[in-house]
Amino acid sequence: MVTCLFLTFASTFDRSMKGFIANYMPRYRSLLFLGVPIILGQLGVIVMGFADTLMIGRHGTDELAASAFVNTIFNLVLIFSAGFASGITPVIGALFGRGDNRGVGAVLRDSLAANVIVAFLSMLVMLAIYPFLSYMGQPVELLPYARPYYLIQVASLPFILLFYGYKQFADGITDTRTGMWILLGSNVLNIIFNYILIYGKCGMPELGLTGAGISTLVSRISMCAVFAFIFHRTGRYKPFREGFSASRVSREGMGRLYSLGLPLGIQTALESSAWSLSAIMIGWLGAIPLAAYQITVTLGNIGYMAYLGMGSAVAVEVSRYTGASQFGEVRAMVTAGAHLLFAQACLTGVLLFLLRNFIPSWFTDDVEVVAVVQTLVIPLIIYQFADAIQINYANALRGLADVRALMFISLAAFYLLALPVAYLCGFTLSMGVVGVWMGFPVGLFTVAVLFRWRFGVCLRRIERENTIV
């Protein structure tokens, strides 16, 4: 009897699993086809950050801490810019799905114009902050390194935003490989110039952190120039150039992009600014905890960028199927995305755990910094799962063009929950840098739950509206 029941259960389970795999396998393939090139390109960005951190850390601990301080401020603007540029995705996806290539080209033109304006305004904000760097409570010895590095980063903003415009266009038409190759090539260039300028090789002066900034600027200029050349001078994007060339910048089109891009930019900036404020808090503890924070953030970004790549694929597919009113497919794609992103988080967590005693020494010889990094690995592993799931549903909402909810949820989760918990644990409970770090698992788990809830609400609303029509 027991044997019979077991065999029946095993047979039923086997059929269920086969049905499950057969149902989701096409979705997995579609998302991987789009997402893997984005992931590889994003990992190229991580390699650039990894190389910068590694080479700067070998040159000096104070320079590493100074780069952490500047990057946390600059990343706020950088991530806002990336979020703003991603507002083009649901627009491009819907037009491409309908075969409106001329409309796609016109939207790209509007997007580039909007991105230039945002770049100019971002530069003004960053330059306004510059005189106040010495008033942010950071160690005085870091400022001579931080100031020139800061200005070089500001100079790169227009090129970053123009590149994002071209890349989001290409991703939206499901051409994710072009952006990948450009990112990978620029990162190779960055590493070469890092070696030459940081350490003073090939007859160049030894510039340290300033040299790292210059090499990053050169690589960003090259990214923008290469993508512009490919779009305007090759046959690959010829079907879209007619709409780009024939159209004028449209106030209506730019207004639509701003209505989508600004909430997305604010949402990503809110998340990034929470990290920036945590870095400032850690800076109050001294240069060693701040240097350790920079190394840990670099490690965490490996997982984050991989999740972001797959999340972008989810956004593209959601926008495409929403435009076609295939809501069952929208739901299935988002579920498949959650499966793949959770698997990525598991892989990232396992690798971080296995390498926790080895990776810190790659960045620095400072024994104190290495010891602090090792204490931060476990909280880093914990929040990987929440980070992966929240990125999946954030991009699902982006594909549905429900972007204001992202902004408000992020504001509540990070500023009303994560940062107070970070301060409470880090300073009130005297847990130091580990306590500050613990605020983020709390914030990210909250965001993941709320984004998942909002996706269900929004999709049901869109389904009802289409049923009525």
Query: How far is residue 69's CA from residue 63's CA, in Å, rounded to a whole number?
Result: 10
Region label for 161, one of left (φ > 0), alpha (ψ between -120 and 50) or beta (otherwise) = alpha
At 287, is the pLDDT very low, low, confident or very high (cuts 50, 70, 90)? Answer: confident
Residue pair 31/338 in contact by the 8 Å Cβ criterion: no
Residue pair 160/307 in contact by the 8 Å Cβ criterion: no
Position 17 scores a pLDDT of: 46
Q: Which two tokens stand for residue 384?
A: 């990987």
Indicate the average pLDDT of the chain.
83
**Residues 6 or more apart in contact with residue 89 via CB below 8 angstroms:** 168, 171, 172, 312, 315, 316, 319, 398, 399
Query: How far is residue 15's CA from residue 50's CA, in Å, rounded to a whole number?
Result: 45
- To the question of pTM greater than 0.75 for the whole model, the response is yes
Mean pLDDT across the stretch 38-54?
A: 75
Residue 222's SS3 state is helix
More confident residue, 60 or 241: 241
pLDDT for residue 450 is more than 90: yes
Position 5 scores a pLDDT of: 38
Convert 100-134 into a string of H (helix), E (strand) and C (coil). Answer: CHHHHHHHHHHHHHHHHHHHHHHHHHHHHHHHHHH
Residue pLDDT, tens place only, 166-225: 998 888 888 888 988 998 888 888 888 888 888 888 888 778 888 888 898 999 999 999
Element containing residue 427 per DSSP (H, E): none
Which amino acid is located at 41 in the chain?
G
How far, CA to CA in Å, does 412 sit from each of 77, 109, 418? 20, 35, 9
Q: Which two tokens stand for residue 455?
A: 């996706």
Query: How far is residue 273's CA from residue 279's CA, in Å, rounded to a whole number?
Result: 10
pLDDT for residue 6 is more than 60: no
Query: How far is residue 94's CA from residue 20's CA, in Å, rounded to a whole number?
Result: 29
Residue pair 224/159 in contact by the 8 Å Cβ criterion: yes
Residue pLDDT, tens place only, 355-406: 877 777 777 777 888 888 888 888 888 889 999 999 999 999 988 888 888 8
